[in-house]
Amino acid sequence: MEVLSSTAQGAIVPLPTTEFRLPPSPAATVKDISNSSTDVESCASSDLEGSVCEAVDELGTEGYRLYPLPPTPKRDNKVLPEDLKTPDNHVERDPRLIRLTGIHPFNVEAPLSDLYDEGFLTTKDLFYVRNHGPVPRVEDFEVLDWQFSIEGMVENPVKLTLRDLLREYEQFTYPITLVCAGNRRKEQNMVRKTKGFSWGAAGVSTALWTGVGLWDLLGRAMPKRGARYVCFEGADRLPNGYYGTSVKLNWAVDANRGILVAHKMNGEALHPDHGKPLRIVIPGQIGGRSVKWLKRIIVTARPSDNWYHIYDNRVLPTMVDPEQSANLPETWEDERYAIYDLNTNSAICYPAHDERVSLVEKGVEMYKFKGYAYAGGGKRVTRMEVTLDKGKTWRLANITYHEDQYRDAPDGETLYGGRVDMSWREACFCWCFWDLDIPLADLADAKDVMVRAMDDSMMVQPRDMYWSVLGMMNNPWFRVVIHKEDSGHSLRFEHPTQPALMPGGWMERVKKEGGNLSNGLWGEKVSGEDDTNTQKEAVAEKEICMTNPKINKDITIDELRKHDGEEHPWFVVNGQVYDGTKFLEAHPGGAASIVGAAGQDATEEFMTIHSENAKAMMPEYHIGSLDEKSKTLLSEPEPAESEKTRPVFLQSKAWNKAIIIQKKQISADTKIFTFKLNHDKQTVGLPIGQHLMMRLRDPATREAIIRAYTPISEGTGRGILHVLVKIYYKTADREGGKMTLALDSLPIGHPVDFKGPVGKFEYLGKGRCTINSKERRVKRFVMVCAGSGITPIFQVLRAVMKDREDETKCVVLDGNRVEEDILCKEELDKMAQGNEEKCKLIYTLSKPSDEWKGLRGRMDQGLFEREVGAPRKGDDTMVLICGPEAMEKSVHRIFNGLGWRDEDLLFF
């Protein structure tokens, strides 16, 4: 057998087979189940225990296989410490993987050099992972009974178990490359922030997958006339339902396309992160179509209406920015923007980022550049080109197609129980590797090295980036910058970016230096270039400087943690240290918000919650930068007190999870969400009048959504937390509420993060309260609210009314549109009943029914003049206000006009 490779001159020459043959070993040979007495089910069971079915095999000539087998996987992976407090506390993982979205959910890629070094096939240990939420837990004894359905527009709906697949269908084993559509997204995020997290160039991996051909299963189900799509749905419960997507039916039924319902990866049962026990694997298309933890296959006439199919894995027009995209539902639903086939892409793996090469080492005249390339839709990469002069001239690199070695496997060859059925297939399933020896003298004269790939349809990687709102399918030329160092005696290579929040890369450096990454010149300014015109052409990104340029001080983690209390709280945002002392009293969320962040990295919460105005104020509080060692130490999770024994749920410096156990509808757009705390005796720990922070993740981007809520359950309550939430549904006039829609779509049993308490007001009882820790005595509360603004009012009113010795008077003015909008009315009426002297309830409706007996109209100046009036000397009244922004502004203006001072008005 001969394997073809292109030379640097572009010729095709045979490579000796022995270069690719692997000697048999226990980790690299597998039993041919079809030619042995071992039945399929027993072999599947042995896989569940983590072993490959090892024995003799039908090997190629001279006792060698004619194609690569996977590297030996690690057997010492454990559940990592950072996963212990997450829903993934049952999943063992490799600590080398780089986390891209914080601790959870698990979205990772391998270090690029490690990925390349594993070779053509990637172990489960370093295979990239894209999880939208918790990994479904499937015990080994449940695997063979895992059931999925084939339904929809089919003549014969089918329900099958994994045991059925193994017994009744022919098994196939193919090498298939999977690629996340976000691969190389960090480069787009450097130009302008997209709505996606920052993948480096290692969001790609290849494995041997074993399973049943989807075409066989659909043949049994028999799609009906008019069917055009096949939808897949997994078992992973997410904020917007189960993950699902679709592909075109003509792909699904085409055996040449090779779509598998797979149950093995590199000869072993699927790892939990990779879909245990069953998943779809689609060659040539983005990884987002290869649904894991497969539960349903639905044949339809139209593309999937699953939230994740519509709002993920799309390339919107480049002129649509993140802000506009929120108001363009028709654009998201336009199937023309959905991504199916991968585009042609490549990367340089060696030299690695920051690798150094000596120019004076004797006997070394060349450096071998190495990397990967792939195409999509079954196409083959046919050309790899390298330039040292920004595209003026090109050199042709060598390409190695390891996939072709499987095409030359003997007829009937089986591998891991599946037939290696590749010889007749035209479709290309895998990446290829390329290399090129470049003289060091040429590198010494160059400023950079760039590569591009071409596929067999003559589509070539573009020079310039196509920026889009989700940052997907990024495939411009891959550029590595060359730096001359050590007085010209060595070279240092700089990649474009580093994944996640890792610093480094020429794009980050250029941006910090004020360079324009959108000018088509890789951030370099050419002679005569007009900065003004260039910036007009560039995509503008509004960036607010949050640092003081005069401050140049490194701060250690020990110094930071000395300021983790109330007196002089320091906190970190984007690696910069800020002193919040001067802002303790003025902070709208109260001193607790700053104290809760003291001594910690508050980047996520600060950037998510605060306005542009707040960010612009930050240079005033900037005191220095956290040193590099301290940044690493700060990112490591501290050992937490056991949730099972901790008496109080809420913590000011740590997020804690509670589980949704009930959703109770109390009006057309309002629900009470009930959460179970960590144990039945655990108290909520929320002072009266304060709030808690609730955190969810955007289902598509995994960016944090954080909002403050006041529960209606008491802070001393045990085991249970009740939160009343108004759901802002999407209408023709407005987009839906990001947080409330995400919360409403969470399934029962889903965890939600909480933190607190926060807020500047606390009611201590018997007329005593504190505002920013300063005590004040009150004889009367005037409480003005609307809609769900009742919740903080409700907390204070309940505390006053429950204490018979508390003589504080309360006047509640509750304005709404219709009677159904009056929330907690039954509870409010019960509190006031028989206590009219202590509590006066006033409801008014702007659109009442004919049966309504109460006040009519909006809360206006006339109402406040009648029921509250001007402040009286010595009456010690405080006005508590909570409602929509327009209402709060109106109340503020009216009460100021009546003579009330701002210090007597408290806006929750």
Please state the residue numbers annotated as binding site for Mo-molybdopterin.
180
Residues with Cβ within 8 Å of 276's Cβ and at least 6 positions away in sequence, in order, are 138, 143, 269, 270, 293
Give the whole-angstrom CA distance, residue 233 versus residue 248.
Answer: 15
Name residue 840's beta-bridge partners. 811
Buried-exposed string 463-495: b where 16+ CB fall within 10 A, e elsewhere:
eebebbbbbbbbbbbbbbbbeeeeeeebbbbbb
Q: Is 91 helix (H, G, I), strand (E, B) or coil?
A: coil
Structure tokens at 906: 């408290």
Catalytic pick among 313, 398, 516, 816: 313
Helices of type H across 666-789: 738-745
Beta strands in 141-258 (DSSP E): 147-152, 158-161, 172-179, 204-213, 229-238, 241-248
Is 839 a residue of the active site?
A: no
Among candidates 427, 364, 355, 389, which has minimal Cα distance to 174?
Answer: 427
Give the whole-angstrom CA distance, residue 197 versus residue 203.
Answer: 12
Give the whole-angstrom CA distance, residue 709 versus residue 55.
Answer: 61
Residues at the binding site are 180
Is 432 a residue of the active site?
A: no
Neighbours of 835 (CB within 10 A): 14
Stated as kind and residue range, the H or E segment containing 217 is: helix 214-221
Do β-strands 204-213 and 260-265 pair in parallel, antiparallel, or remain unpaired?
antiparallel
Give the whole-angstrom CA distance, residue 868 versus residue 448.
Answer: 74
Catalytic pick among 43, 53, 180, 785: 180
Is 189 a residue of the active site?
A: no
Tabulate helix, strand, coil % of the chain (nearest 5).
25, 30, 50
Structure tokens at 664: 């109770």
In the 8-state DSSP scheme, what is residue 188? H
Structure tokens at 690: 């304060």
Catalytic pick among 125, 236, 312, 321: 312
Give the whole-angstrom CA distance, residue 374 versus residue 35.
Answer: 35
Q: Is 590 helix (H, G, I), strand (E, B) or coil?
A: coil
In the 8-state DSSP scheme, what is residue 37? S
What Rg, from alpha-carbon coordinates, does the chain have? 31
State how far the alpha carbon of 697 is from the alpha carbons of 332, 602, 706, 722, 758, in Å.
20, 16, 9, 21, 20
**CA 24 from centre of chain:** 41
Q: Which residues are catalytic?
A: 180, 312-313
